[in-house]
Amino acid sequence: MKIIGADFTSSPSRKKPITFAYGELDEKVLKIFSVEEVTDFIKFEAVLGDAGPYVAGLDFPFGQSQTLINNLGWPNVWQDYVGIVSKMDRNQFCQLLDDYKKHRATGDKEHRRKIDELASSISPQKLYGVPVGKMFYEGAKRLLATDADIVPVRRLDSTKVIVEAYPAIIARRIVGKNSYKNDQKKKQTKELYLARKNIVDGIFSDSMVDTYKVSVAMSDEMKDKLVDDATGDTLDAVLCAIQAGWAYQYRDRGYGIPENANPAEGWIADPLFLSAEL
């Protein structure tokens, strides 16, 4: 099975591209054979439009919280409210979220999905700092335009399957909450380099194989690339591919997504959440 991992950005460019990792899962061995940086959404769409079959893990929130959906009066079906969002331009969407927060009480402005609470990830409304709200806007409408299964938010019985990934989950298993990447050159320290090296070493450990049900294989040159890329984008793309490979192992169990996960919000594919209490 072809496996794809993607570290996503809401504004792809030469300075900050979308990074893809490509691999193949044979039995329980995930061979990572290449990475690719793309600087525009046209290529991103082309990758998702590939004939397949494939399983892809993409690092951005596929949905918004049930609270926001309800409060904005959006339809309670993912493709319907994403369809509304896709008719907005980016500024309109950002203004909508800013206006929504204006008169709400502190602590009740940016809502998290159930999976965000479990994953300790930020609200998909966030527009500043790490702008995952903009990532949702740019990513979800492009998912809507594909003919792939978007698990668990839209099922089409396609040979192409896309799951939401979150590479920080794997990184935390290995280095805890220690940082391992930075986009700013002056902040790309030796400590971050060593953390990336620990993560790369860790993904080959017996405990990771037991957890993710896949044994990762790649060239020494590829390993060096994951460690040397101080932005962490290449490493994150590979971690997303590992989560996608794990999801494929659970294809007969909803790709590892609990049956009662909210299909309007979406869900992160990772063994940590396989038996989450909802």
Average pLDDT estimate for 202-208: 96
Q: Does the pLDDT of residue 93 top 80, yes or no? A: yes
Q: Within a domain: residue 180?
A: yes
According to the model, what pLDDT value does residue 153 have? Answer: 98
Average pLDDT estimate for 106-117: 96
Instruction: Say what the pTM is.
Output: 0.96
Q: Within a domain: residue 12?
A: yes
Using pLDDT thresholds of 50, 70 and 90, give the confidence band for residue 275: confident
Gap between the Cα atoms of 169 and 54, Å rounded? 22
Gap between the Cα atoms of 175 and 249, Å rounded? 25
Q: Within a domain: residue 90?
A: no
Using pLDDT thresholds of 50, 70 and 90, give the confidence band for residue 51: confident
Q: Which residues contact 186 (CB under 8 A, 6 or more apart)?
A: none
Using pLDDT thresholds of 50, 70 and 90, give the confidence band for residue 276: confident
Structure tokens at 248: 């494929």
Find the DSSP H helices in 132-219. 132-144, 168-175, 190-202, 206-212
Q: Within a domain: residue 203?
A: yes
Q: Within a domain: residue 197?
A: yes
Using pLDDT thresholds of 50, 70 and 90, give the confidence band for residue 162: very high
Q: Does the pLDDT of residue 257 top 90, yes or no? A: yes
Gap between the Cα atoms of 130 and 135, Å rounded? 9
Look over the chain and give the mean of its residue pLDDT values, rounded to a whole number.
96
Q: Does the pLDDT of residue 163 top 90, yes or no? A: yes
Task: List b or e across 36-71, with b for residues whose CB sees 16 or more CB atoms inside 10 angstroms.
Answer: bbbeeeebbeebbeeebebbbbbbbbbbbbebbbee
3-state secondary structure of 151: strand
Number of domains making up the chain: 1
Q: How distant, in Å, are the alpha carbons of 18, 58, 97, 98 from that of 91?
A: 21, 24, 10, 10
Q: Does the pLDDT of residue 46 top 80, yes or no? A: yes
Q: Within a domain: residue 67?
A: no
What are 1-18's pLDDT values in tens digits? 999 999 999 999 999 999
Gap between the Cα atoms of 200 and 174, Å rounded? 9
Instruction: Count other Cβ atoms within 10 Å, centred on residue 203.
Output: 25
Q: Within a domain: residue 34?
A: yes
Using pLDDT thresholds of 50, 70 and 90, give the confidence band for residue 83: very high
Q: Within a domain: residue 16?
A: yes
Using pLDDT thresholds of 50, 70 and 90, give the confidence band for residue 202: very high
Range of the domain at 28: 2-61+161-249
What are 180-194's pLDDT values in tens digits? 999 888 899 999 999
Using pLDDT thresholds of 50, 70 and 90, give the confidence band for residue 85: very high
